[in-house]
Structure 1
Amino acid sequence: MWNTEPRHLAFRAHKNGVVTSMQFDGERIITASDSGKINVHDVQSGALLRKLEGHEGGVWAIQQYQNTLVSGSTDRSIRVWDLEKGECTHIFRGHKSTVRTLEILPPTQVDQDTTDEADTVHDWPLIISGSRDSTLRIWKLPQAEDPTYLLSTDTQGEDCPYLLRVLEGHQHSVRAMAAHGDTLVSGSYDCTVRVWEISTGALLHTLDGHGYKVYAVAIDQKRNRVISGSMDHTVRIWSLETGAPLFTLEGHTSLVGILELKEDILVSASADSVLRVWDPENGECTSVLSGHSGAVTCFQHDNEKVVSGSDRGVKMWNVQTGVLEKDLLTELSGVWQVCFKGQHCVAAVQRDSATFIEVSPTTIPYAGNPLIGEDSRF
């Protein structure tokens, strides 16, 4: 039985600042803002557990790995935080401009067969950072037992013991990236997608074809492909092995800013207010999710549902059929982030010029299940 009157939780956060990035591990909601502040809230009560302060500019990217948070900022630094203690343990410098995107890559097993044990590309987690300075940097993620490493602002950081390599080649800002195994894919405002070998830093392919800036990339592990979204309104699919273009997915009429691939479902979101669901095998569009009144700013999907945000609200769709199941939030003045995990869905929104985090502690219904009560915003 579904709870017909789920409890809805909404609380203020970051005053009236923009929530630039959000992580949610099922218990803690971690939000970063353009003010440079990072907040950690309890999902059950909304209580503020930690305030992570230290960045001297807006925080544009955060990534969580177990009890560690990594953040990147307009102050050009990367900070590593102990979430339990609420302390900054490491500061990495070296980027010459805003750190715009981050990935944490766990040790990855590859080349597994029935007779041999899997090999690992690297024996420790990695931080990969992309910057408006056109470079990417690969760092070793500090471990809990490592001593603190806090560089002063006048230190360049090229001799940082955690820095493994610098990837150079893009001619403009690095806007997006994805990593798996020993492969890193980056998308840039120089209109290219580049494929790198993480272990050596070698550039394997430069994927030319987009006419304007690249805003989103994804790796299709199953089919050994790269997927990219661009300001030229298209989604493109490329061979990861050869770099050859395979499909150009057309239909959007504005910037394609977000891509997400889950198994056999690819979803793209655009400034044209529409989400499109694609078959990644052949590039065919299977559904068009139309109903938002402005640019789609965020979404997450799984095999049953898509939860998406735009300027006025948050919607939930059936990803299999494309049917709008429910308006989850309405009468907003902005939606910056949405995510769901387990029995909770979290949205970072603006309402009446103030920033709120809104949480549903009940499971978002899957396709074919009864919808939750009409009294809940989720």
Structure 2
Amino acid sequence: MAVITTTRRTQHFGRTTTPTCKYWLAGRCNRNPCRFSHTLPTSPSNIYYNPYTTYNHSKKPTTCTPKPLQKPPNHAPKALVSVEKPINCRGEAMSVEKVIECGPKAMSVEKATKCEQKPLLIEKTIDVEDAATVAKASVEKSRSICKYWMTDNCVHGDLCPDLHSWFYGDGFSPLAKLHEHNKVVTGNALSTGSDKLYSGSIDGTVRAWDCNTSRCVNSINLGSEITSLISEGHWVFAGLKNSVKAWNIQTGADVTLDGLKGQVLSLNFGNDILFAGREDGVIYAWRGNSDPKAESAFELVVTLSGHTKSVVCLAIGCYKMLYSGSMDHSIKVWDLDTLECTMTLNRHTDTVTSLICWEDYLLSSSSDCTVNVWVCTEEGTLKVTYTHTEENGVLGLYGMTDAEAKPILFCSCKDNSIRMYELPMFLERGRLFTRQEVRSFEIGPGGLFFTGDGTGLLNVWKWLEEPKVVLIVNALGRW
């Protein structure tokens, strides 16, 4: 490639020019103000100035035979560019080819003669348009978002090596931003038969969003931090301190399940049973009551003890089992019929942050930066068949299929990003970026999915049937 060179302040025929900042051209100048120019260089106006003219200072011509040029090493790719033919010490023209390495520096080509001339550095100048093209081409985009762009303070523009976007990847697109919560969003839920999206937050409120207008249509202040939110059928459940709040979207029934001690950190529903994991390591189980004359729609069945620290995640599936992950670094497996613990899995070395069941596989994530894939053996035990490692701790796992029905795993990490992988090979499909950590994720119809971060922002995304289509008609009205 051609080499852009900048020299110190020079003077040609009384005209003073300021050299262009080479770091600015590469998009890496961080000086403000900078003593070099942040504009593209202009072509020299003096037509008599030729930096490639070879001057002969010897009084008498001497006999000398230039040696052939030494070939550059074979390991470096080369490009040959013809330049103006210099003359030797006899005044004869000789053929010289310029060899430029594909690297940041030009090779020095020597004329080995008896005149003992100094090595001549041959370079090729480029015009203004070429300079801009080379500068932009030299910037390789990283896979990290620019922190200065996030605060509208990036001065590099298109030459910035970091991303100026909240996501990268193909096949999906952002649709809407819903910002009413003022603290971290801990759960999203879509109730059956409703066109409302429900969100819960540490700010103590549950908000209902109209899917046709993208507006918040209702807000319920529960007066306590909401650390989990799920839906099952027509019911929406919110985990609070010392209780679980439940609403029936169809009938308007309002139920409080109390008697707990401590914050409810995780919720799940399966086999007609509501499970709630507390911060003291105990799991409460309520069975749904179908008797219309019953005092409560849910009846406490049993409490499951075994964890020594907080139960932060629950999953149901994979051979009709309940799986619980805890801050004690363990995963416990409970039989849904007998509600007894059948095994304990000790593979992670830090808090088990998330569990999902996908077909016959159990996937677990941890603050130890790993994602384990578990499979059931012939002996009836679970073993790890694959371990995926991230650079940062993993906060949550979420799974869905894309527009082509390919399984996609979402990994929310502590670096304020969500990594998207195509299973089973863990091929990266893209990344989503947020200002703070993503703590909630919900799958909607028609390829929709929702993410909630630490700032209280809810983002609405959609998988596209045609990745290049700009206009999106979604399944839920305006979304």
Question: Contact conserved, 1:276 with 1:287, CA < 8 A, in 2?
Answer: yes
State the shift of 1:357 in Å: 6.9
- 1: CA distance, partners of 2:219 / 2:421: 41
Is 1:208 aligned to residue 335 of structure 2? no
With over 3 angstroms needed to count, the CA separation of the structure-2 counterparts of 1:190 and 1:261, relative to structure 1, is same
Distance 1:330 1:74, change over 3 A: closer
Q: Which runs of 5+ in 1 are unaligned?
A: 1-9, 17-42, 107-124, 144-160, 365-378
Q: Does 1:129 pair with 2:219?
A: no
User: Where does residue 182 of structure 1 map in the other structure?
Assistant: 272
Query: Who is 2:256 aligned against?
Result: 166
Q: Which residue of structure 1 aligns with residue 352 of structure 2?
A: 256
Instruction: Tell me, yes or no, if structure 1 residue 100 matches structure 2 residue 227.
Output: yes
Counterpart CA distance in 2 for 1:167 and 1:340 is 26
SS in 2 for 1:187: strand
Deviation at 1:86, TM superposition (A): 4.1
Which residue pairs with 1:268 in the alignment? Answer: 364
Percent sequence identity over matched residues? 22
Encode CA deviations 1:234-291: one digit per residue, 9 max, x unaligned: 111011222211111111000001111122111000000000011256322221112x
- Determine helix, strand or coil for the equivalent of 1:171: coil
Q: Deviations over 1:108-156 (max 9, x none)?
A: xxxxxxxxxxxxxxxxx1111111x12112211158xxxxxxxxxxxxx
Whole-Å separation in 2 of the counterparts to 1:79 and 1:340: 17
Residue 62 of structure 2 corresponds to none
Deviations 1:55-83 (A, max 9, x none): 57554322234520112233433233322
Equivalent in 306, 317, 320 of residue 409 of structure 2: 306
In structure 2, relative to structure 1, the CA distance for the partners of 1:294 and 1:327 (3 Å cut) is farther
2:328 is paired with a residue whose SS is coil
How far, CA to CA, are the matches of 1:56 and 1:331 in structure 2? 19
Residue 219 of structure 1 is matched in structure 2 by 316
Counterparts of 1:177 and 1:92 in 2: how far apart (Å)?
Answer: 19
Q: Distance in 2 between matches of 1:331 and 1:63?
A: 22
Residue in structure 1 matched with residue 386 of structure 2 by the alignment: 287
Deviation at 1:204, TM superposition (A): 1.4
Separation in 2, partners of 1:175, 1:325: 31
Instruction: Provide the residue aligned with 1:325 in structure 2.
Output: 427
How many residues align structurally? 281
CA gap 1:219/1:332 in 2 versus in 1, 3 angstroms: closer
Partner of 1:32: none
- For the residue of structure 2 that corresponds to 1:252, the secondary structure is coil
Note the aligned Cα RMSD (angstroms).
4.1
The structure that is helix-richer by fraction is 2
| 1:92 shift after superposition | 3.8
**How far did residue 193 of structure 1 move?**
1.4
Q: Is the CA contact (8 Å cut-off) linking 2:332 and 2:343 kept in structure 1?
A: yes
| SS of corresponding position for 1:99 | coil
1:156-195 CA-to-partner distances (Å, cap 9, x unmatched) read: xxxxx630x2212331110111113521111111111121
> Which whole-Å CA distance do the structure 1 matches of 2:238 and 2:201 have between them?
11
CA displacement, residues 316-342 of structure 1 (integer Å, 9 cap, x when unaligned):
55644xx44237349998652678887
Give the equivalent residue in structure 2 for 1:198.
288
SS of residue in 1 equivalent to 2:186: strand
Q: Which moved more, 1:269-278 or 1:167-176?
A: 167-176
Distance 1:142 1:230, change over 3 A: same
TM-score, length of structure 2 as denominator length: 0.50
Counterpart of 1:286 in structure 2: which amino acid? T
Residue 227 of structure 2: SS of its match in structure 1? strand
Are the equivalent residues in 1 in contact too, given 2:208–2:219 (CA < 8 A)?
A: yes
Distance 1:334 1:89, change over 3 A: closer
Q: 2:327 aligns with which of 208, 227, 231?
A: 231
TM-score after normalising by structure 1: 0.61
Structure 2 gaps of 5+ residues are: 1-144, 152-170, 290-296, 401-405, 467-479
Give yes or no for the alignment of 1:82 onto 2:191: no
Letter in 2 for 1:306: L
Distance in 1 (alpha carbons) for counterparts of 2:267 and 2:178: 28
